[in-house]
Amino acid sequence: MLREMGSNRTADGTNNIENEETEIQYLQKGVRHLCERGLTRIPSKYILPVQERPDLGDTWNASKHNLKLPVIDFTQLQGSNRSEVIESLANACEEFGFFQLINHGIKDDVILEMIDVSRRFFELPFNERSKYMSKDMSSPARYGTSFNQNNDKVFCWRDFLKLSCHPLQDTVSCWPSSPADLREAVVNYSKSTKFLYLMLMEAIMESLGLVETTKGGEGKGSLEDFEDGSQLIVANCYPACPEPDLTLGMPPHSDYGLLTLLLQDEVGGLQIQNQGSWVTVEPLPNSFVVNVGDHLEIFSNGRYKSVVHRVLVNSCKSRISVASLHSLPFKSTVRPSPKLIDEANPTRYKDTDFASFLQYISNPSHDEMDAKTFLQSRKLT
C-alpha cells in the first residue's frame, strides 16, 4: 500500500526501508523530522493520487484563481453602522462561509509572540517535541503530523501542536514547558481570541434574528451559551516541501466547530472551494480569516455554510499558521435553533455532540479524504 501511488521512495528519498510497519512508524514522527534528515524527495506515503494533486502552476500564476473574501471591520461592529456590518456578515456566512476580519483589536505583541513561540516549539529537538505525541484525540496537549495519522491513507505535509484551552486553569499545566514562554504566550492569545469569538458570535446570533438588540448594539443574553464553550488552539507547521505539486499541507475538509479564527502568514496557502473551483485566499496584513464550522451550519439549520478548504505547501519557505477553533462545551448537544425551524424550513440535521465527532473520525472505515463526511452524516435529507 505504501508504494502503490508512487515509486519505491523511502523516508529520505534514497534508502530502502524493508519493513512496512517500520516505515509507517518512522513517517509518523512528522515532517520536521524528515526534513531534518536532509529530505530531497517526498516519500510515497505523501504522494496524492493524480486527480487530487494541486495544480500549482495554474494556482500561483493566474489571478483568476485568487479570491478576495468579504472583509468585516470589527471596529464598525461596535459603531453606529452596526446594522450594515451585520448584514455584510450574514451575506459572507451565507455565500462564502468565510470572511476576513480587520481592526480586530488584538495587540501586535500577542500575535507576534504566538507565532514566534510556535515556530520555536517546532524547532525543538525531536526528543523534546515527541513528549507530547499521543493517539488520544482528547489529550489537552497533542503533537502530531498529517491530518489524522492513525487513519490517513495518504499523509499530508504538516506537523501540529493542539492545545485545549478550556478551562485554562485545568489545561495549562499539561502544555509543553518548553519553550519557557510558550504557556504565557498561548494563554494571552487564547484569551484575546476567545473575546473576539464571543463578539463575533453575538453578531452572528443577531444576524440570524436570534437575539434582541439594545440601542447600544448589544444582544441581550446572547453569549450565555457560548462563554463556557470549548476552545482549541492549533499551531501548524508546514515545512518547505521539495515536491509541493504532489502533496498538500491539509487535505480538503471542513471544520467541526462553530467558528475558526485563522492567523495566516504573509505567504498564505489557504484555498477554499468556490463555485466548483479551488481558489486561493489572499492574505491581508494583520487580519484573521474566519470560517463557519459544521456546528454553526447545523445550528443555523443550513443557512450558514461550512465550506471545504485545503492548504497548499511551497518549496521555498516553511510556514506557521495558528487556528483557534471554538464551539459549545464538549458535552453539549448541537442542534438547529428552534427559532429557525418552521413549516417552510424543517429540521435539516440530526443532533450531534463532540463525542460523536471524535468517534466518527477515529473510525478507519470512512474515507478521510471525503471532505465533509461528518457533516453529511448529520443531515436528515
Structural domain including 1 reads 1-47
Q: Are residues 119 and 228 in the same domain?
A: yes
Q: Are residues 335 and 353 in the same domain?
A: yes
Q: Are residues 89 and 120 in the same domain?
A: yes
Q: Are residues 93 and 160 in the same domain?
A: yes
Q: Please report, for the domain that includes residue 317, its CATH number.
A: 2.60.120.330
Q: What is the pLDDT of residue 188?
A: 98
Q: Are residues 102 and 246 in the same domain?
A: yes
Residue 122: closest CA among 157, 149, 147, 159 = 159
Q: Are residues 236 and 364 in the same domain?
A: yes
Q: Are residues 302 and 319 in the same domain?
A: yes
Of residues 9 and 30, the one with the higher pLDDT is 30
Q: What is the pLDDT of residue 62?
A: 45
| Mean pLDDT, the chain, integer | 86
Strand partners, 72: 101
pLDDT digits (tens, 9 = 90+) for 217-252: 454 456 777 898 999 999 999 999 999 999 999 999
7 pLDDT band, cuts 50/70/90, is very low
- Distance in angstroms (rounded) separating the CA atoms of residues 309 and 272: 4
Q: Are residues 283 and 347 in the same domain?
A: yes
Per mean pLDDT, which range of 20-34, 142-156, 159-173 is the poorest? 20-34
Pick from 29, 47, 65: which residue ends a domain? 47
The pLDDT of residue 128 is above 50:
yes
Q: Are residues 128 and 252 in the same domain?
A: yes
Residue 293: closest CA among 279, 278, 307 = 307
Q: Where are the beta strands (DSSP E) in 308-369?
A: 309-311, 319-326, 333-334, 352-353
Q: What is the pLDDT of residue 362?
A: 66
The pLDDT of residue 303 is above 60:
yes
Q: What is the pLDDT of residue 58?
A: 55
**Which helix H or strand E contains 33, and what residues bound it?**
helix 31-35
Q: For residue 309, what is its C-alpha cell?
A: 478548504
Q: Which amino acid is at 286?
A: N
The pLDDT of residue 366 is above 50:
no
61 pLDDT band, cuts 50/70/90, is very low
Q: Are residues 117 and 180 in the same domain?
A: yes
Q: For residue 312, what is its C-alpha cell?
A: 497548499
The pLDDT of residue 105 is above 80:
yes
Of residues 130 and 11, the one with the higher pLDDT is 130
The pLDDT of residue 316 is above 60:
yes
Of residues 67 and 48, the one with the higher pLDDT is 48
129 pLDDT band, cuts 50/70/90, is very high
Q: How many domains, in total, are found in the chain?
A: 2
276 pLDDT band, cuts 50/70/90, is confident
- Distance in angstroms (rounded) separating the CA atoms of residues 139 and 65: 38
The pLDDT of residue 119 is above 60:
yes
* DSSP-based helix, strand, coil % in the chain, nearest 5: 35, 20, 50
The pLDDT of residue 93 is above 60:
yes
Per mean pLDDT, which range of 8-12, 181-185, 338-342, 359-363 is the poorest? 8-12
